[in-house]
Amino acid sequence: MTEKPLLRSLEINDRIYETFHTKKYERRQPYVATDPKKLRCVIPGVILKIHAHASKKVIRGEPVMVLEAMKMQNDILSPVDGKVKRVLVKPGQMVVKGELLIEYE
Amino acid sequence: MTTTSTKHLEFEKRASKALRGGGEKAIQRQIAMGKLTARDRIHALLDAHSFYEYDLFVEHRCRDFDMDKKVLPGDGVITGTGTISKHPVCIYAQDFTVAGGSLGQMHARKITKIMDHAIKLGIPIIGINDSGGARIQEGVDSLAGYGEIFFRNTAASGVVPQISVILGPCAGGAVYSPALTDFVFVVDRISKMFITGPEVIKTVLGEEVSMEELGGARVQSEISGNAHFFAHNEVECFHQIKRLVTYIPWNNTKRADPYPPAPPKARYNIEGIIPSVPTKPYDVREIVRAVCDNSDFLEVQEHWAANVITGFARLNGGTVGIVGNQPLVLAGVLDVDSSDKAARFIRFCDAFNIPLITFVDIPGYLPGVDQEHDGVIRHGAKILYAYSEATVPKVTVILRKAYGGGYIAMCSRHLGADFVFAWPTAEIAVMGPEGAANIIFKDEIAASPSPEAVRRQKVAEYTEKFANPYVAAASGHIDAVIAPAETRKILIHALQMTAEKKEARQTKKHGIPPF
């Protein structure tokens, strides 16, 4: 059904096996640790309002913007105390899951 | 006489009108899409002249939006009973030519009525789905209809086999009836299943995706695992259903009908399948075909999570459920998807009195952050649960590697296997020799002036001592070491011995499997 995949290797407990990979396995993304200086979008939607701006000091739990998603207006709260370095989105902008919203200094 | 014949004429007039479905134009559109009509599908699937239809004259009850002026023949669904290879079945087929096969109150009632029949009569229910979704004009009544179908799908689960055939769109809430059934059949370029369609995804997310890429037959049978059987056209699909029906019993109080026993085909040489190098792959389905009747193996979910195989075969004429690690794909590891796949299949077999044969060649679980974060613990637990819970005959054959947690999970004696056999090539150990030597002799290897040489020596020592079936045999964890050529004979013997097996379990309302 699928194009014939190539015989690959897979290491399990220090032994390397010859085998085919699955599509899903080939598409794996390497794990990247969460960067506390970056606020990312967790649900797709549209930015309605932005309270934060560059060089503004915010505290943990403070609303930094409003995101409309699934017909709900959600306050996006700052996950950390810090100073905003840049705001990467504009009101009215459509954002996808994982999109960078705010970078902290 | 005149009155009687008038009445007969009236009946014929009404019937022939209803039998035309949505009319010639709509039928031509259906055919242009490469699809058969609902009635033709039923006739293609069932034995010739075996179909009897009910509720042909059912009418919808919607009075809003000028719907009272509309006639929807059969309310867009055909229901009835018939036989497949003489096995009785209840069947319904949504008629896309009638209001797009949309589901209204009476449409749903016809379906729930035939489902109730199936449960009461103890025969399989087959649903052919081809519907644009809820009939919006009927509002919440149509939602109620879906809910009542789901409720019966759940009630019928484990009582009668339930088969869903997706031959057109099946979107939104409608997808959950197939999802609750035992086997879902899809056809390339015809089946489309999704919760939210491309339009909504585009509006909400700005992502563009075609129906085919979102929820086409290939996606559902390769990526999501929602479908169990993939066919290139409707005729192939019906052939697959006919085959499946012969392997499964009518209901949970019966066994599958026996077939005349037949030896495996001569071209499958069981001795020559497993490579001598333990890290080389082979196709475990060759082992299955070398053992089972007529080398006939009906694989379930062939294209999804192919690192484990599931399917039906016969041994000495009786149906068995086969589960096996597949060294050809991801070295045969267990992971999130393959655990789900195996667990569901095991539970089907247990519910319907089908003995389980497990072929083991497993290096362990798939390592990776994605696996851990996707819940390989929770998913992996399902296979332990399913095997432990199953009281049907369980026979295990360890072909090659059986390491660590994978050894336990693959229907080991400890999870209640009735018989565990091992080939001389079996390696039943806590892990592979390389991993074990690296841990046990870590300090010794590190302290040596030539660590690589010491490591190789230790691996060799460990292999010599533990990479065999005899350590497990010495503890009685396996019952016998068997020559590969004896496998079929011994499996048939084991099934004969376990034919009247009874195993008691604690009384409970139901268990709580790690869904």
Q: What is the mean pLDDT of chain B?
A: 95
CATH class of B2-247: alpha beta
Q: pLDDT tier at B344 (50, 70, 90 boundaries)? A: very high
Exposure on the CB side of residue B273, measured as CA atoms within 13 A? 23
The per-residue DSSP string of A18-84 comes to EEEPPHHHHTPPPP----TTEEE-SS-EEEEEE---TT-EE-TT-EEEEEEETTEEEEEEPSSSEEE
Cβ proximity of B79 and B103 under 8 Å: no
Is the pLDDT score of B150 beyond 90? yes
Cβ-based neighbour number of residue B297 at 10 Å: 18
Chain B residues closer than 8 Å to A13 by CB: 363-364, 403-404, 431-432, 434-436
Helix axes B105-121, B140-156, angle to 10 degrees: 10
State percent of chain B over pLDDT 90.
91
Indicate the burial class of B312 (C-beta count within 10 angstroms; 0-12, 13-18, 19 or more): buried
Residues from B contacting A (CB-CB < 8 Å) are 204-207, 218, 221-223, 230, 279-281, 303, 305-307, 327-333, 337, 363-364, 366-370, 373, 403-404, 431-436, 438
pLDDT tens per residue, range B490-510: 999 999 999 999 998 999 999
Most confident of A2-11, B191-200, B481-490: B481-490
* A24–B435 C-beta distance less than 8 A: no
Runs of H (alpha helix) within B248-335: 284-291
Rounded-to-integer distance, Cα A2 and Cα B488, Å: 32
Domains of chain A, with CATH numbers?
38-104 (2.40.50.100)
CATH topology for B270-431+468-497 is 2-enoyl-CoA Hydratase; Chain A, domain 1 (3.90.226)
The per-residue DSSP string of B93-130 comes to EE-TTTGGG-B-HHHHHHHHHHHHHHHHHT--EEEEE-
pLDDT tens per residue, range B159-179: 999 999 999 999 998 999 999
- Residues B473-484 as b or e (16 or more Cβ within 10 Å = b): beeebbbebbeb
pLDDT value of position A5? 66
Token pair of B336 as six digits? 């999130």
Token pair of B450 as six digits? 């030539």
* B281–A13 C-beta distance less than 8 A: no
pLDDT value of position A3? 57
Higher pLDDT, A27 or B80: B80
**Side chain identity at residue B103, one-letter code:** L
If DSSP codes are grouped into helix, strand and coil, which group holds residue B507? Answer: coil
Residue of B186, B279, B403 for testing the chain A interface, max A β-carbons within 10 Å: B279
Chain B residues closer than 8 Å to A44 by CB: 204-206
Residue of A nearest to B369 (CA): A31
pLDDT tens per residue, range A55-101: 999 999 999 999 998 889 999 999 999 999 999 999 999 998 889 99
Q: Give me the mean pLDDT over the B234-247 stretch.
A: 98
Residue of B201, B220, B370 for testing the chain A interface, max A β-carbons within 10 Å: B370
Same fold, B2-247 and B270-431+468-497: yes
* Domain regions of chain B by residue span: 2-247, 270-431+468-497, 433-466
